[in-house]
């Protein structure tokens, strides 16, 4: 509420009509007749001054003119405007502007019969009347509005604190990854001829020819690739696998064995898993696990050298998956799996699962439990959400060390290389590059177990690879050019 509209608080002398001076022939001592009294709404008379003089009534439409001596001594007085209905206003002491000009000069006729005591005539030293009450909900401190503003400020501070609490560990972790990417790999940290590559479904459904096999053989010559993970699935959600899914499998296996002696052809089988995916495979069902085992036996009978499983998303600690691996060991000569990344921070998969509903990582302990049940484990060390090559390379170095620490020496450990180029949340092609991944692998291997024999890299995936990817693999890891 604007209180400056109160004339007692903010007088404006220029807006008040000049008072009419007394006629010159009227004696100064003649008392001024009182203003007409409104009998319908009486007003109390003003208090008498201490010296006993008659107070000057408030200006009104019927009031007597003000003494020229008073007007000359103290300047014009402001009075409230007359009401529209013509009634006399309530008495209010005149208010003079505050300032040096408002102080009256001493009068030479002080004490005479015509002199006027300015303090008695127009000055009121008491506090001005209080203004109207503040509206409901408004107070000197702001009332409800002030409380709302305080709450908003507190909420902003809490939000900022929460952001800092989340960002601080992230910044520390990212700094550690950048440091992890520094240094030089040890000499000899190159291929051990235990590498692998994922191949698309076109190799077993009839789209590839002998010429394609010949080109593949030329591509893989003099590299460290020993295993081909050929997509022969996917599995049905109940665990079964139609034989119609891989009609040209035997032709491919025969051609590869002829043109690439020593290279093993594994059937790559996979599916999505519940409960994270609602319409997916349920490993908690014993019938489903039994069907998966039968599907593995089926592809081995078709001529594959082994079975490579990629079941996602597989949550850390899943005991049903461990039970499935135990059941698969007797039915395939070579059991291989694709593995999730390991917690970059302790229990990070639990935190991430709570926040996003997708616990992307495995605990290091669970990774070791899986590694002890298979012949070969390939870490999917891509789709890491890292925005820079240095951070991605440092992340791969960390993953390599974590995996080496819990993988038995008799199990082949392979680290995945990104032979594909996508830009989406979780994967930036400019950051997740083959050179950065190879350098990270070599750094992790150098720091943890540089002489590990059963170690290699796995290239994902053949149909998305570029010449630059192959060149980097050969130059940085194979060292043949």
Q: Distance between CA 476 and CA 481 in Å, rounded?
A: 9
DSSP secondary structure code for residue 333 in this structure = S
CB 33 within 8 A of CB 56: no
Q: How much is the pLDDT for 148?
A: 86
User: For the chain, what are the domain ranges?
Assistant: 1-20+66-79+115-124, 189-478
Closest CA to 326 of 312, 339, 315, 337: 337
100-136 confidence digits (pLDDT tens): 444 444 444 444 444 444 444 444 555 556 655 555 5
> Domain 189-478: which topology?
TIM Barrel (3.20.20)
Q: Residue 137: left if φ>0, alpha if ψ -120 to 50, beta else—which one? A: left
Please state whether beta strands 195-199 and 455-460 pair in parallel, antiparallel, or not at all (unpaired). parallel
136-156 pLDDT, tens digit each: 544 444 567 778 889 899 899
Report whether pLDDT(70) > 70.
Answer: no
pTM: 0.68
Give me the pLDDT at residue 130, please.
Answer: 60
User: 3-class SS at 173?
Assistant: helix
pLDDT tens, 404-413? 999 999 999 9
Mean pLDDT of 21-44: 46
- pLDDT for 145: 74
Average pLDDT (202-214) is 98
Confidence category of residue 81, pLDDT binned at 50, 70, 90: low
Of 315, 431, 331, 330, the C-alpha closest to 383 is 431
Nearest to 476 by CA among 442, 429, 432: 442
pLDDT at 125: 52
């Amino acid at each position: 509420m604007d209180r400056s509209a109160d004339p007692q608080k903010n007088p404006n002398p220029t807006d008040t009509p000049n008072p009419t001076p007394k006629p010159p022939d009227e004696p100064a001592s003649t008392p001024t007749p009182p203003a007409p009294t409104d009998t319908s709404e009486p007003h109390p008379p003003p208090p008498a001054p201490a010296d006993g003089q008659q107070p000057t009534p408030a200006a009104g439409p019927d009031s007597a003119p003000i003494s020229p001596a008073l007007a000359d001594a103290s300047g014009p007085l402001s009075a409230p405007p007359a009401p529209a209905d013509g009634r006399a206003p309530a008495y209010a002491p005149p208010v003079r502007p505050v300032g040096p000009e408002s102080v009256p000069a001493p009068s030479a006729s002080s004490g005479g019969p015509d002199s006027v005591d300015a303090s008695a005539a127009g000055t009121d030293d008491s506090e001005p009347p209080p203004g109207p009450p503040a509206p409901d909900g408004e107070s000197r401190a702001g009332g409800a509005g002030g409380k709302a503003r305080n709450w908003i400020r507190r909420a902003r501070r809490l939000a900022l604190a929460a952001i800092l609490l989340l960002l601080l560990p992230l910044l520390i972790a990212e700094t550690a990854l950048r440091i992890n990417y520094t240094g030089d790999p040890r000499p000899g940290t190159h291929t051990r001829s235990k590498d692998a590559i994922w191949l698309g479904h076109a190799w077993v459904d009839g789209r590839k020819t002998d010429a394609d096999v010949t080109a593949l053989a030329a591509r893989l010559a003099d590299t460290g690739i020993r295993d081909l993970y050929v997509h022969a699935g996917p599995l049905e959600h109940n665990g079964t696998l139609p034989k119609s899914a891989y009609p040209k499998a035997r032709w491919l296996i025969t051609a590869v064995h002829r043109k690439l002696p020593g290279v093993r052809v594994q059937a790559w089988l996979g599916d999505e898993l519940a409960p994270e995916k609602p319409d997916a495979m349920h490993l908690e069902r014993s019938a489903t696990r039994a069907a998966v085992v039968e599907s593995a036996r089926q592809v081995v009978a078709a001529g594959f050298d082994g079975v490579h499983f990629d079941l996602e998303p597989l949550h850390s600690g899943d005991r049903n998956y461990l039970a499935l691996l135990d059941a698969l060991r007797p039915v395939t000569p070579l059991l291989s799996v694709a593995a999730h990344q390991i917690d970059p921070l302790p229990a990070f998969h639990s935190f991430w699962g709570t926040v996003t509903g997708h616990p992307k990582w495995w605990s290091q302990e669970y990774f070791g439990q899986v590694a002890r049940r298979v012949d070969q484990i390939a870490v999917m060390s891509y789709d890491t959400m890292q925005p820079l090559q240095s951070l991605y390379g440092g992340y791969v170095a960390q993953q390599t060390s974590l995996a080496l620490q819990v993988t038995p020496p008799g199990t082949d450990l392979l680290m995945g290389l990104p032979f594909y180029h996508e830009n989406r949340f979780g994967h930036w092609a400019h950051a997740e590059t083959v050179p950065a991944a190879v350098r990270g692998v070599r750094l992790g291997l150098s720091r943890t177990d540089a002489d590990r024999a059963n170690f290699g890299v796995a290239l994902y995936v053949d149909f998305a690879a570029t010449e630059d990817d192959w060149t980097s693999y050969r130059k940085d890891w194979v060292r043949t050019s």
